[in-house]
Amino acid sequence: MTRPTTRIDAKFAELAAAGKKAFVTYVMAGDPDYDTSLEIVKGLPGAGVDVIELGLPFTDPMADGPTIQLAGQRALEAGMTLERTLQMVRDFRAGDSTTPIVLMGYYNPIYARGVDRFLAEAKDAGIDGLIVVDLPPEEDSELCLPAQAAGLNFIRLATPTTDDARLPRVMQNTSGFVYYVSITGITGAAEAEASDVGPEVARIKAATDLPVIVGFGIKTPERAQTIAAISDGAVVGSAIVAEIGAGKPVSEVLAFVKSLADGAHAG
């Protein structure tokens, strides 16, 4: 089956043609409140962000460290819901029709809404891809395959513990890009080391034609540069979410994002 080209596909093709690495950011939708969060998200492309991962707040985020857990709590306490997250994407799309948005979260809120309804609403709102961390390849019929049929990329995580026997299964129905989790454990923990990540990226690239983007443990422009240099790009989440959690003004948050983007693009 031929899949339609998504904004994610188009962005990576554009970056490859320019010989550039991708800079991807994660922020929690609705953190610390709807209006501030929307202002930050709207400012990300201008700060050099190529792909936006938008976190869907959830009460039991098992893969996330304290920084992102607290962001989710702040967002939920401020009244953020799946409905309002979709509205945030619509509000963003009113001024930006090209920057890819990946919704990242857990299956429970999607399941509760109903997969068919959710996919139709997500596509209509302007979401381009999904990362759902608690759905393994064995459950592809639940969401992955319906999402692809609806024209959304389904992006899979590979980790240091994804061995050669497991890797083909993980890659099987993945599209858009592969998110390589550079460390074992939760978000915001240890720092990613290029010497550890490089061989793993090469191993994954031997198994797929998709771009391989590295996340977890990237906190500085220098680290973003070294990781982007041995992959197709870098993801930063916790370090940015920590700035938001510290109550920094939007302008300071975006200046920090730009420093990271400059680092990744120099990779």
Q: How many residues does the structure list for the chain?
A: 267
Tokens 């929690």 belong to which residue? Answer: 28
Distance (Å, rounded) from C-alpha 179 to C-alpha 163? 15
Of the residues 31, 50, 53, 243, only one is catalytic, namely: 53
How far are the Cα atoms of 187, 197, 201 from residue 184, in angstroms, in the given order? 9, 12, 15
Cis peptide before 32 (omega within 30 of 0): yes
Tally of CB atoms within 10 A around 33: 14
Verify whether residue 33 is a known catalytic residue. no
Catalytic residue among 9, 64, 128, 200: 64
DSSP code string of 45-81: GGGT-SEEEEE---S--TT--HHHHHHHHHHHHTT--
Pick left, alpha or beta for residue 153 (phi over 0 → left; psi -120 to 50 → alpha; otherwise beta).
beta
Does 53 qualify as catalytic in the annotation?
Answer: yes
Q: Nearest 5°: phi and psi at 10?
A: -65, -40
DSSP secondary structure letters along 167-187 = HHHHHTT--S-EEEE-SSSST
Catalytic positions, please? 53, 64
